[in-house]
Structure 1
Amino acid sequence: MAHTDTDEPTRRDFLYVATGAFAAVGGAAAIWPLIDQMNPDASMLALATVEVDISAIEVGQSITVMWQGKPVFIRRRTEEEIEMAKAVPVDILPDPIARNENITGEVPATDENRAAEGKEEWLVMVGICTHLGCIPKGQKVGDAQGDFGGWFCPCHGSHYDTAGRIRKGPAPMNLAVPVYSFLSDDRIQLG
């Protein structure tokens, strides 16, 4: 009797299928570590967003928190500091762009475009000088620095105002405003 394609599978057919399946599973198991290593590790995922309790910050005080390996300044500004920032015409600023990642496009560096709407007393900025990456001074209570009452980078003499805008010195840009949101009146989420 001759064998045809309609005959039942043989032991050889089973071995071909089993060997192919075993090779596919083994190949996937060998490749998985290479694919998985491209995912961010747990420490980076933890830094993607950070919640900050701001309930203890008094008017006129600042704190510095670390986010994505960078210092972030969070300041609760006084009415005087807000008024000083609002009084500055944008056309006299060395960098007229807001540098606010919460707003799309290149908007003017007004105080309103540097703070969250309805929460103008809070100023949130990446605390890295835009000249050579130093950390400006001015975060301690009653320690406003520079010629404009904000922050001062002593390394090369960059002066920032009460809205974190460059006013004098070699820094080419305003301090960056990172992505952040208010989760409540007492909590901010960075990232």
Structure 2
Amino acid sequence: MQILADRHLAKPEDPLTLLGARVHEAEGRGRIAFALFQAARTAGPIFWIALAHDQDRLLPEGLAERLHLVEARDETDLLWATEEALRSPAVALVIAEPARPLSLTVGRRLQLAAEAGRTTGLMLIHQGSGSQAAETRWNCEPIPGPEDSTRHRWTLIKNKKGTIGPYDVNWYGSAAAFHLVPPTGKRCQSEDPPR
């Protein structure tokens, strides 16, 4: 079981990797795509916790055997189920969709649960309703592109342990593979050395 715990705490290998044993937040119109992207990249069981009256459910191909959907009666049950799932060392990723803003107390409780279970949490929040206790906060928006484009701009707007900034991503929605796309007007190759 020690190998599993160490895997969850590994340092990020790319800028889109969520730090293990921490709770992160995603807001914006593309937050569901960001959550699915993180789920596709995560090995092991995934818990997705939402309010029962929220009828929009996704069951992405390739995740069906690892994805456990939990429907909570109200916000209190949603936060309780999220905390309990985060405390379990057998769970790799917990995604929750709270309807109300997260207080500092709630955010801190979730962080402590994630640390105890060495589990990664991702809260899908409404714009401006996150907790100061979150490790990172991402603003996720689809961006226009050519026909059949799957471009997203995922902007890291809060980061307790590093830099912030935007990442333009082409992600095809079914695998963990993606391409970072340079922002418009940015150079794709290195400059020639000075003469």
Structure with bigger strand share is 2
Fold-level match, TM-score > 0.5? no
Question: TM-score scaled by structure 1?
Answer: 0.21
Q: Please, what TM-score do these two structures have when normalized by structure 2?
A: 0.21
